[in-house]
Amino acid sequence: MTATSPLAPLDSSTGRRPLPRSGRKVMRPETLAAMQPTRVSRARALVNKLVRERWRITPQRFEVDANAAGTVVYSIQAPRQEFSFIAFSRPPSRTARTGRIIGQAWDMMGTLNEGPATDTDIAAARQELPKLYQGRATPNTLTWCRCNRSLRVFDQALAALASGSKPPIDELGKVCYLMRNTGIDGNGTFGTRPFAALGADHALGAPLEAQLLTAYLMREFSCDLIEHLARLAASTAVTLTRPMRRFIGVGNGSALGLIFFIHNHPRLIDAWIAAREHGIAAARALRLDVGDPRIERLLGLVRAAIVFRRQDRAHYEAFDASAEVAADLETIVPALVELRDTGCIGGRRREYPLDVLAARLERRLRPEAFETLLSLLLELVPDEVDALAARIEGEDELSVNPSETLESLGEYIRTEYQWALATDMSRPDAYRYVWYKSRSAEEPRRGGREEVPAARELGLDVCGELQRLYADLQCRPAALTVARWLLEYPQHRHMVARIQSLRGRRYHTPLANINAADFVPIRLVRLMNVTIHGIDKTRDFLNRNLRGVLFHGAPIAADLTAGYDGPTFYPPEPVA
């Protein structure tokens, strides 16, 4: 019997069934930044839902002239509910273009509404959308949105289609979209329907579903628009192939405001990351043997990720280059081939082979390559992961438990927040930066304290507040209740409510002092963009902004009702 024989004795030395990773490991900013889109990420979860439920998305009105001015209406049919997307296309402005909220010119403005689009809805949207902050949405409105063309790529692709040829992939592949999202507003903004009012039975009742469906419709609109304009320009124009349409996503840019979202919605962040980590643990606990089709499935996914990374034309500043990640992923292939052919890892049969493989690779791979592998493991347990994703929710309200004693609260802080207590907040650079909202740009900012001395601090000072709270706990008897203590120290009420309300959760707060000079904001922005939203190819800009692409490789509207069973992410570049 050889060491690589399928009949080799089972090595159960790995011990217990794999468990989810600890919060101390997962919530480090460098780990959060390395995480990749998964089946739990909202964009991918939404796509799987649209395919599974066979939603129908059809243009009902496409009245756009050769200058790109006009009105477009889409009907969206869910199994038990109907929606409409009303979009106003505009000729691209070469001036006053910006992705910021203070912009004054967009190539498209739109609204996602409940119910079919009526003439009244269209007229109200046409009147109110351009006002933005001074505008008011109709009661059936879920989101307002805006997007702009990628001018150079859009123009090149339009010229190619009009001339009867395909868009040049060498240029399109640099951005992977025709239009980019410059704002999606919902959850009460401008009078849109609040998320809490939708309810669990609503077709878009999961967190961020309405916003991500809006982005998906932007993507459909961009492809429909360029084909429409090409037909108006030339009778011999061709359309985008289906592989090309799937390759094209919608661009997305994000900045520092997402860090406020993370701190303001700790239960939701915890639920998202917990679903991901429990799914990974379930996959690592699979018992696999020779010929198990799930091994071949994982091998195919890793190879697709390698091709995707090899073809990535984006330039990265703060993150690993895709070529480096691809090289790391290639080292996984021989181990998976061995597992497929022999049932062994390293020449020995294992009770939990994927857990053994992951434990070995964690020490050898770049974090981004390792997290890519973990993200692909979720595809081996799709039913379990989809069930976890369906339960993602998180109330924003935090409340105080008044009857807890100071002894109990202090012990919990020492156990669960030791990282914050151990952070040296007396260093000169511990409060280097202040977080505030720009008066002129209406956007979150981070600046040196000496540069904006009058700024109102909006960031969550977890480390400083916890240390001050813990010090004040020592000033009163251990048997005193929290209620009586807060009468003397009311300034700690919010942090006490946060600590008590999040008790028992692992993944709610990044382990970082966001005011410190060495804090890298882009890491937490990437957590939201990549892990939560599901954005690919997130390239950094000035270490605080991210630009990426949503629904890259996702099935198009025409696929949804056809029982699509092809790949939904990591698309290869289309062959001309």
Mean pLDDT, residues 188-203? 93
Predicted pLDDT of residue 67: 96
**pTM for this entry:** 0.94
How many residues does the structure list for the chain?
576
Residue 35: band (very low, low, confident or very high) from pLDDT cuts 50, 70, 90? very high
Confidence of residue 274 (pLDDT cuts 50, 70, 90): very high
Query: Which distant-in-sequence residues (6+ apart) come within 8 Å of 131 by Cβ?
Result: none
How does pLDDT run across 526-556, given as a tens digit for each residue?
A: 999 999 999 999 998 777 788 999 999 999 9
pLDDT in tens, 433-448: 999 888 766 678 888 9
- Rounded Cα distance between 198 and 449, Å, is 41
For position 330, what pLDDT does the model report?
98
| pLDDT score of 390 more than 50 | yes
R_g over Cα of the chain: 25
pLDDT, average across residues 182-194 = 94
Task: State the pLDDT confidence band at 13, using cuts at 50, 70 and 90.
Answer: very low
% of the chain residues with pLDDT over 90: 85
pLDDT at 441: 62
Q: Sign of the CA dihedral 424, 426, 432, 438?
A: positive
* Cβ burial 210-231 (10 Å sphere, 16+ → b, else e): bbbbbbbbbbbbbbbbbbbbbb
Q: In the predicted model, is pLDDT for residue 326 greater than 90?
A: yes
Arithmetic mean of pLDDT over the chain: 93
The dihedral sign for the CA sequence 401, 404, 407, 412: negative
Provide the pLDDT for residue 439: 75
Long-range contacts of 57-63 (CB under 8 A, 24+ apart): 57/217, 57/220, 57/557, 57/560, 58/557, 59/224, 60/117, 62/224, 62/228
Find all residues with CB under 8 Å of 145, minimum gap 6, and list them. 109, 110, 111, 112, 181, 183, 184, 185, 214, 215, 218
The secondary structure element, H or E, covering residue 386 is: helix 382-390
Take residue 86 and report the two structure tokens written for it. Answer: 């009303």
Q: Tell me what pLDDT residue 98 has.
A: 61
- How high is the pLDDT of residue 1? 30
CA distance 128 to 99: 19
Task: Provide, rounded to the nearest whole percent, the portion of the chain with pLDDT above 70.
Answer: 95
Residue-wise pLDDT tens digits, 457-516: 889 999 999 999 999 999 999 999 999 999 999 999 999 999 999 999 999 999 999 999
3-state class of 228 per DSSP?
A: helix
The angle at the Cα of 421, spanning 417 to 422, to the nearest 5 degrees, equals 115
> What is the model's pLDDT at position 103?
59
Phi, psi (degrees; rounded to nearest 5) at 333: -55, -50
- pLDDT digits over 344-357, tens only? 999 999 999 999 99
**Predicted pLDDT at 200:** 84
Which pLDDT band, with edges at 50, 70 and 90, does 93 fall under? confident
Structure tokens at 441: 């740009």
Judged against a pLDDT cut of 60, whether residue 99 lies above it is answered with no
